[in-house]
Structure 1
Amino acid sequence: MTGTQSAVTGVDASWAQNGTLTFTHALTGADRAYERVTAVPALVIPRAGLWVVDYSARGVASMPASVAGAEFVSVALYKNGSVVTGTEVMVVGSNGAGTGAQATGGLSFVHTFAAVGDTLELWACRIGQLGTASVVSNGDGRTRIVGHWIGPPGDTPA
């Protein structure tokens, strides 16, 4: 699967997911400036209605041996180009010269999609500018977005 495709699986298109991905995406932007993680294909919603969305992101943060400071990785989902408020997650941080850390984090939430073709994308930012920060996906920890349709348009969370 390429970075521009999205897979839909399951009976009656009730599941949507963007596959098993392997990549490294270096975060090089300004402090706290979200950028799209292009290696994660947009999840295209195949039917309107109420969906349970799960996502996970594996972050890597490190500081050079000669530099005191901290570096963190934060992620969020964007719907049709705008952040879905409440989906922001700080995945990992590294604090101190010569330190590094990796972790996988994410969340699940219920969301109403009004239209077929709405898209969800993973965006990430670095907090700190003295070290390195990345979002990665491989056999040690996957980055992915998955959705499960649970109700028709107009349905609301219980």
Structure 2
Amino acid sequence: MKPRQDKKPVQFPTAGAFLAVSLLLGVSLTGCAQNSGYQESLASVADNAQGTFSLPRGEDAGAPIPLWETVLIVCPYSDTSLIPEPFAKDVQNLDTASTDSLQWLLFSDQNNVSRISVERSAIDFCQGESRPIEYESNRAWNAEKHDGAWVMTPTTD
């Protein structure tokens, strides 16, 4: 029996191709999980603030809902059992006792809600506050740097 000459040997991807795909996948998954876009926007606004300011909104702000109307800030150890609509469903599985290094920002425009986490070592909305609080997008804020983190406090009316 004569071997077939038209068959080509099977070629497997090189180790470099596997590495490139792994890195690309890792970068894309990491970008989704960290929400660094909005965290960077917050830090930039705080860095450039000359007095009070509003939290970033718009297409380049990095928020999951660019033109959000309200934001609910949920701090570590917050009781999420009495959260108002439209946020109630989005906090059901939120484990606020699992870490104190994050806070959660839930953005809403009407009934559309999206949640991100922000590292407290960079931006901290939770100094002295433990209950979830909802703020309008036009709320004025102050920022003060403490131990490398921007501490955000809403202005009083």
TM-score class normalised by the smaller sequence: under 0.3
Q: Which has the higher contact order (CA 8 A, sep 6+)?
A: 1
Give the alignment's TM-score, normalised by structure 2: 0.24
Max Rg structure: 2
